[in-house]
Amino acid sequence: MAAPLTTDEFVNRVVSVGIAERLDVNRAIGELGVGEVPLVDVIDQLQRRGLITTLQTEKVLRGDRIGYFYGDYKVLYLIGAGTFARVYRAEKDGEVFAVKVLRKRFRDEPKELEQFLREGKMGLKLKHPNIVRIIDVVADRHNPFLVMEFIEGQTLRELVKIRGKLPIDLSLKLIYEIAQGLAFAAELGISHRDLKLSNVLISSSGVAKLVDFGLAALADRGNPEVVADCPNARAIDYAALERGTNVRKDDPRSDVFFAGNMLYHMLAGTPALTETRDRMARLNITRFQDIRPVQDYVPDIPGLVNQLLLNLMEFNPELRVQSCKAMVSAIKGVMEDLKRGNHGPVEHTATKVNAEDVGDDQIITNEGEGYIVMFVESKTDLQNAIRERLKARGYKVLIIANPERALARFVDAIEPPADCVIFGASELGNDALDAYNKFAENEDTKDIPAVMLVDPRQQHIVQKAVRGSNRLLLPLPLSIKNLRVALIKLLAKTQQRPAGTY
């Protein structure tokens, strides 16, 4: 067993590893008076004077010769430790930074090292107020590290643990900031793939900042058939959801789902998805389907907020909010509606919006709550655009590419599958026209409103389309504002469906 250090030996080590200047150390010790000073008193004095930290003291006492600096950054404290990396508070030239260091056992693992450095390189692109900024990437294979801005504050998980359920307005503010960061990353083709409360930092000024893009995936748009995998334990939740819903492994809607899970966690004080280390339990797809209603935890949750949650955490990816950008719009709309007093309680008495009140398309309302719209269209980009914009306003949107199959849904139906049908004639042409006219003439569907989107150059379609008080043609390219006005007018006399029945 090594003999205890003497005061002189301790001081010599502090100076030799470079964490303090001998002149400063001697001056601090001199304040304790003359004569032999116990080591414990010397350590206490140096720490109180800010010359050494607790972490540095422990390393000096152990006899460590390295780990006090990463490059020019002097390590002060350990502020976070995960399976793959540690994060330290460090300083350089009087400024404070966070330094993320890959654990030693992974430095000789090419895949882990590549993932770590890729996180850093991606982070250099992600300059956004709601993403923790990466300042430098040092790719030294013996000592790789990332330099990040230091955020004085706490993680979102710590905030929820301390406060329990967060107020609705605060929860929406934080998820809105998180969504803005995700949307910015998505524009660069980057998805987060590890969304959870512990990967969000809340600054001392209350701003949410995303951290840890270690599992971020550059979207592989050229290979949509790639199956979701989970080589990393942290990727299991995403892989399970994507396998269970038959989408590619970097589907951008996965981040939307897990952002919804974070919002649920903030509101309810507990996550929607049961947290477990059991790999098989996490891969079980029913975990994503058997989610307890948030009303069980927040009985007075406004209907708008509940609907937002349902839209974000919809198991079927085709019915989920389709992008992080659309998520930003949806959250913003709910926040603004709540400020205007349109709370829309869970029992579902949605605020009606008059056609003349429809203004800027970016102002989100809940005008569509209680209505189902079927969109018959074969163009994927137009499908997605209409779905996102209408769902953000509370409509449930069904997408069907085949006009005949759309009409078949109404045959012998006990209750109509949709309250209004939109036919797109740009690509479907005469097939859309025939279906639109049959819909107007059939005894079972003639009273159900219908819209046809048609290019003005398709004059043969315009001329042959059946007209009527609940039939409408809208020109392409489409104005979403005009479509919203049309739907409000066409559905004015249609009874809204009760919550939970559509």
Q: Which residues pair with 96 in a beta bridge?
A: 91
Pairing of strands 85-92, 73-81: antiparallel
Residue 255: other Cβ atoms inside 10 A = 27
Residue the block writes with tokens 């890959």: 102
Q: Which of these, 65, 66, 64, 61, lies nearest to 4 by C-alpha position?
A: 61
Q: Which of these, 14, 1, 72, 73, lies nearest to 43 by C-alpha position?
A: 14
Q: Which of these, 424, 474, 472, 470, lies nearest to 445 by C-alpha position?
A: 470
Residue 117: other Cβ atoms inside 10 A = 17
Give, in degrees to the nearest 5, the angle at Cα 168 between 162 and 171: 60
User: Three-state SS string across 368-425, please?
Assistant: CCCCEEEEECCCHHHHHHHHHHHHCCCCEEEEECCHHHHHHCCCCCCCCCCCEEEEEH
Q: What are φ and ψ of residue 101, in 5° steps? A: -120, 125
Residue the block writes with tokens 């004639």: 425
100 is in an annotated binding site: yes
Distance (Å, whole) CA 250 – CA 190: 9
Residue 169: other Cβ atoms inside 10 A = 12
Q: Are 252 and 323 in contact (CB under 8 A)?
A: yes
Q: Which of these, 379, 292, 298, 393, lies nearest to 337 by C-alpha position?
A: 393
The DSSP H or E segment spanning 176 is helix 168-187
Distance (Å, whole) CA 90 – CA 78: 9
The C-alpha R_g of the chain, in whole angstroms, comes to 29
Q: Which amino acid is at 182?
A: L
Residue 89: other Cβ atoms inside 10 A = 20
Q: Are 301 and 156 in contact (CB under 8 A)?
A: no
The end-to-end CA distance of the chain, in Å, is 73
Task: Give the residue ranges of the annotated binding site.
Answer: 100
Task: Give the residue ranges of the annotated binding site for ATP.
Answer: 100
